[in-house]
Amino acid sequence: MEVLREKVEEEEEAEREEAAERAEWARTEKMMRPVEVRKEETTLTQETLRDLEKKLSEIQIPISAELPAFTKDTIDISKLPVSYKTNTPKEEHLLQVADNFSRQYSHLCPDRVPLFLHPLNECEVPKFVSTTLRPTLMPYPELYNWDSCAQFVSDFLTMVPLPDPLKPTIKSEEKVLPKKYTIRPPRDLCSRFEQEQEVKKQQEIRAQEKKQLREEEERLMEAEKAKPDALHGLRVHSWVLVLSGKREVPENFFIDAFTGHSYSTQDERFLGIESLWNHKNYWINMQDCWNCCKDLIFDLGDPVRWEYMLLGTDKSQLSLTEEDDSGINDDDDVENLGKEDEDKSFDMPHSWVEQIEISPEAFETRCPNGKKVIQYKRAKLEKWAPYLNSNGLVSRLTTYEDLECTNILEIKEWYQNREDMLELKHINKTTDLKTDYFKPGHPQALRVHSYKSMQPEMDRVIEFYEMARVDGLIKREETARTMTEYYQGRPDFLSYRHANFGPRVKKLALSSAESNPRPIVKITERFFRNSAKPAEEDVAERVFLLAEERIQLRYHCRDDHITASKREFLRRTEVDSKGNKIIMTPDMCISFEVEPMEHTKKLLYQYEAMMHLKREEKLSRHQVWESELEVLEILKLREEEEAAHTLTISIYDTKRNEKSKEYREAMERVMHEEHLRQMETQLDYLAPFLAQLPPGEKLTRWQAVRLKDECLSDFKQRLINKANLIQARFEKETQELQKKQQWYQENQVTLTPEDEDLYLSYCSQAMFRIRILEQRLNRHKELAPLKYLALEEKLYKDPRLGELQKIFA
């Protein structure tokens, strides 16, 4: 019953988001008895009214006043706004209306559960439920549609089970409670089992064989089966009802806030609805819920089915057109509407809660502390916020063999933002087979890698992304003794290569740095049909039997044939009777040709073909070794990646991306400096002179001319001053030098070598200073007229001295 209130904070968020979708909060319970539909209401006489009033005032409303077990320590009340702590007069009025409504209701329907109208908020202040809803549009596109929004809310909420109202001490039952919406009711399992049983009975032979198994199964089933629910039909729960109409919602449905799942209104796990509310009104269900919610009609405008609390706030009809119409009317007859409001209806006061704010961090973190664990039957799902785990793990699903969750069957781990593009890791604990799935973009184009051990030359399957590799490899399978590769889209039409390895020969000399590859016994290669060649020249399969020095060829089959040409080469190095080496003999090439040809009978042709194949054999052998090396490389790379597990950060992620942050800061710095420089260049020469004049007035021509002259003469003076200053310094330095020289000449004889050194170094320094001053003076003399002209030009162009131009115009 208190589910709603105990987590007001979180639910408010949900409420307000959902309100945007004109969701209705529903409160339900199993209707124990059919509801009597009131009819006499309209025919109340004065007397009965008084009587009623009396009766009503006597009724003690069992408002859901029990304090929730959940502590409110976590909420700092002092920081909350005033609206949380007090009620406005309008709210007070509303509460009175609600109390009155509630009194009437409990009088008329004494058997029904008291209404959930104004629970206490975190500040112990009663607030009407509708005012706890505040429609808010959030800046996240994920929250725009109900499914992802519900998912977010469910992630955001933490389920805290209530103490059992019947047997508060028994904790085992409590644990069962939260599972109500997470597992399928065992009833379903039962019926299916019975069906199965029936089928099995018909198959007697099988039945006997499987009997033991089945008994075992039965036992397990029994163990799994939830104990009968003592609170069945007594539990009250809140969930979201979305009505059809707006935003292309085709039909009404429920959303369970804890799981974020949607349910049809026909779902039999929803036993009934007590009342509904949204941010505008509050309705009580007057329909019979004997058949769960299946027969409910969600036409809130029908006062017989849905008893509303406030009249006229929403004209009760919730269909889209109605609302639009009323919107238009609002504009037209504001006065009439106002009167009506005063007379009959009562406005729902504005929501007292603050607008919800979800920071991007909180949004990304989703769950409290970024972590959430959901326990399912025989399975556990863990969720983490992205970047929370340093290896990029975002969720893990562990499935168990038993109900106690001790024997792990398999583990699935999902990753995000991995630099090695790892997406999913699947570990099967029974076979010990690990399978890694990658997104496109791995440096080795990996797609799937399944293995039992990271040691080379073991059972392993590596799949690659199609078209990502230059050599067209799409799959490589390995066992201890074989390696099979599958190709696609190669220019040489190779489709398959299979290598058999022999046992490794032990090398005597361990000194050789090179690895000791396994000897290849046999290589089989298959090719796709190359339509550019005639079938009898297009090899379909070639087998290199390296140990026997035998090469077998099988050609493609011609379209209208059933047999294909074959050729077998046997390389025998023999010597004839005269001791000459036999190059080629007819028995070294045994061929079967579907259409015997002239030129293939030639020894030269066969010899050349054989030589070609020998070369190919070498290449293929090499290729196999290369592949082995590549596997080693991939394994090494994988190990490194696993060890490093670097995460990528999008360049748009300005918070995490250090580089972009630095860059942005640098850019900002540069911008700032640029700005300063610009300020400098825009030094206003005219400003001091303009300040003398009365502000805001347009300059007369005479004033402009004077201003210009003043400015120019001032500048001229500054230039002259500067020149004089340099000149003065120059003269001073020269004089000093001359004095020193004089002094030196006079005392030259008596000077110690140290003094002389001192004098000499002074001289060179002084000379340097004089030279620099001279240069600066010359430069100033050169530039001064130019600067003067530049200023003059600038002043002419200054818009404030526009009058000047007129003189010359």
Partner 1 sequence: MNWLCDLMEPRVMDDDMLKLAVGEQGPQEEAGQLAKQEGIVFKDVLSLQLDFRNILRMDNLWQFENLRKLQLDNNIIEKIEGLENLTHLVWLDLSFNNIETIEGLDTLVNLEDLSLFNNRISKIDSLDALVKLQVLSLGNNQIDNMMNIIYLRRFKCLRTLSLSGNPISEAEDYKVFICAYLPDLVYLDFRRIDDHTKELAEAKHQYSIDELKHQENLMQVQLEDEQARQEELEKHKTAFVEHLNGSFLFDSMYAEDSEGNKLSYLPGVSELLEAYKDKFVIICVNIFEYGLKQQEKRKTELDTFSECVHEAIQENQEQGKHKIAQFEEKHLSSLSAIREELELPNIEKKILECSADISELFNELMMLEMQLVEQLEETINMFERNIVDMVGLFIKNVRSLMAQCRDLENHHHEKLLEISISTLEKIVKGDLDEDLPDDLRALFVDKDTIVNAVGASHDIHLLKIDNREGELVTRIDSWCTHLVDKIHKDEIVRNRKRVKEINQYIDHMQSELDNLEYGDILD
Q: Which of 73, 342, 560, 658 binds partner 1 (CB under 8 A)?
A: 560
Q: Looking at 246-254, 587-595, 613-621, 726-734, which segment touches partner 1 (CB under 8 A)?
A: 587-595
- Cα–chain center distance at 737: 78
Q: Report the C-alpha gap between 581 and 736 in whole angstroms.
A: 107
- For 80, list phi and psi in degrees, rounded to 5: -75, 150
Give the 3-state secondary structure of residue 204.
helix
Q: Report the C-alpha gap between 780 and 720 in whole angstroms.
A: 10
Closest contact distance (angstroms) between CB of 521 and partner 1 is 14
297 binds partner 1 (CB under 8 A): no
Closest contact distance (angstroms) between CB of 606 and partner 1 is 9
Q: Which two tokens stand for residue 523?
A: 């290589």
* Shorter beta-carbon distance to partner 1: residue 18 or 525: 525
Q: Which of 193, 528, 607, 689 binds partner 1 (CB under 8 A)?
A: 607
Q: Report the C-alpha gap between 439 and 421 in whole angstroms.
A: 5
Give the 3-state secondary structure of residue 656.
coil
Query: Total residues at the site for partner 1 (CB under 8 A)?
Result: 17
Q: Report the C-alpha gap between 473 and 490 in whole angstroms.
A: 9
Closest contact distance (angstroms) between CB of 572 and partner 1 is 13
- Please, is 589 exposed, middle or buried when counting C-beta atoms within 10 Å of its C-beta (0-12, 13-18, 19+)? buried
Q: Which of 39, 344, 578, 599 binds partner 1 (CB under 8 A)?
A: 599
**Under a CB-based contact definition with an 8 Å cutoff, are residues 383 and 367 in contact?**
yes
Q: How is 518-569 classified by DSSP, letter by letter?
A: PPEEEEEEEE---TTS-GGGSEEEEEEETTTTEEEEEEEEPTT-S-EEEEEE
584 binds partner 1 (CB under 8 A): yes
Q: Looking at 49-57, 115-123, 559-567, 670-678, which segment touches partner 1 (CB under 8 A)?
A: 559-567
* Shorter beta-carbon distance to partner 1: residue 608 or 673: 608
* b/e map 662-671, b = 16+ CB within 10 Å: eeeeeeeeee
557 binds partner 1 (CB under 8 A): yes
Q: Looking at 10-18, 74-82, 118-126, 600-608, which segment touches partner 1 (CB under 8 A)?
A: 600-608
604 binds partner 1 (CB under 8 A): yes
Count of all residues that appear for the chain in the document:
809
Closest contact distance (angstroms) between CB of 591 and partner 1 is 9
* Shorter beta-carbon distance to partner 1: residue 315 or 558: 558
547 binds partner 1 (CB under 8 A): no
* Shorter beta-carbon distance to partner 1: residue 518 or 556: 556
Q: Looking at 52-60, 275-283, 602-610, 671-679, which segment touches partner 1 (CB under 8 A)?
A: 602-610
Q: How is 565-630 classified by DSSP, letter by letter?
A: EEEEEE----B-TTSPBP---GGGEEEE-SS--SGGGSHHHHHHHHHHHHHHHHHHHHHHHHHHHH
Alpha-helical (H) ranges within 693-752 are: 701-747
Closest contact distance (angstroms) between CB of 602 and partner 1 is 6
* Shorter beta-carbon distance to partner 1: residue 259 or 524: 524
Binding pattern for the stretch 498-537 against partner 1, x by CB under 8 A and - elsewhere? ----------------------------------------
* Shorter beta-carbon distance to partner 1: residue 432 or 608: 608
Closest contact distance (angstroms) between CB of 561 and partner 1 is 6
Residue 586 to residues 322, 537, 590, 592, 601, Cα–Cα distance (Å): 97, 20, 8, 13, 9
* Shorter beta-carbon distance to partner 1: residue 533 or 781: 533
| Residue located via tokens 């499935």 | 399
Q: Which of 362, 583, 666, 693 binds partner 1 (CB under 8 A)?
A: 583
The dihedral formed by the CA atoms of 298, 299, 303 and 309, expressed in degrees to the nearest 10: 70
Q: Report the C-alpha gap between 596 and 18 in whole angstroms.
A: 81
Binding pattern for the stretch 608-647 against partner 1, x by CB under 8 A and - elsewhere? x--x------------------------------------
Q: Report the C-alpha gap between 371 and 365 in whole angstroms.
A: 8
Alpha-helical (H) ranges within 275-373 are: 320-332, 334-343, 360-365
Closest contact distance (angstroms) between CB of 479 and partner 1 is 21
* Shorter beta-carbon distance to partner 1: residue 96 or 563: 563
594 binds partner 1 (CB under 8 A): yes
Q: Looking at 56-64, 290-298, 332-340, 556-564, which segment touches partner 1 (CB under 8 A)?
A: 556-564
- Please, is 125 exposed, middle or buried when counting C-beta atoms within 10 Å of its C-beta (0-12, 13-18, 19+)? middle
320 binds partner 1 (CB under 8 A): no
In the complex, the residues that contact partner 1 under the rule CB under 8 A are 557, 560-563, 583-584, 590, 592, 594, 599, 602-604, 607-608, 611
